[in-house]
Amino acid sequence: MKKTLVVLLLIVNFGFAQQPKRKLVWEENFNGTKLNESVWNFELGNGCPNCGWGNNERQIYTKTNHQIKNGNLIITAQKKDSIYTSTRITTAGKKEFLYGRIEARAKLAVGQGIWPAFWMLGSNIKTVGWPKCGEIDIMEYVGRNPSSIYTTLHTEASHGNSVNTKITNIPEIEKGYHVYAIDWSKDKIEFLVDNILVYTFQPEVKDENTWPFNQPFYILINLAVGGNFGGHEVNDSIFPQEYSIDYVKVYQ
């Protein structure tokens, strides 16, 4: 009886997304012993000239704060000699996608000041800049607000402290692996956690300011420390922290 009630409450509160039939067009299972650099790019340093990666983040990104182990990408945020380090990777120029279901199965890093993310940017960012290129934050988690997953869109019409966002409370989301996904079409973008619909973005007016999502986007995975969104107070006792990604898959 209790299990039945829980399922019914989930349906009422979130609704299970009805997924169209799609074909798996690309997958990254993180097999082998090192990251496949024919698919992934490392973004390095402190983000200068836009230092702090535009968010006053504290970490320096390196090629050494990650490992491929047991079919997982494990990004480790560390602090040593007052310096925070981590890893940030992208598929820019190598794997870019227009529409479909994009998902990752991941286990979160946790703690005050930690900020793991799985997200996408428009492939034209170098020509039109941000936010005009568009940004799809499939999953963001900030350790200062436990049991919460952020799903957000940034556009020319709404960026920074975007109104196109949803914070979903999911008790014990920090435990184990969960699947974070979008179902993206020419009409709307649906956000899902463990195949449960948590947010839909479907503006009535679609133009270059509200809907830059009619072009290819690339994937980013990173683990940030601190910053405007991650929180300026960092609990140094939590380090090292691991953000583990089992796979990334794209269906169209």
Q: Which one is catalytic: 28, 57, 103, 135?
A: 135
Four-CA torsion 30, 34, 54, 115, nearest 10 degrees: 50
Q: Which residues contact 161 (CB under 8 A, 6 or more apart)?
A: none
Give me the DSSP letters along 25-59: EEEE---SSS--TTT-EE--BT-TTSGGGGTT---
140 is annotated as an active-site residue: yes
∠ Cα 201 206 211 (to 5°) = 60
Q: What is the CA radius of gyration of the chain?
A: 18
Q: Which amino acid is at 73?
A: L
Catalytic entry in 28, 57, 103, 140: 140
Tokens of 94: 């190598």
Closest C-alpha among 237, 222, 111, 238 to residue 174: 111
Q: Is 43 a catalytic residue?
A: no
Active site (catalytic) residues: 135, 140
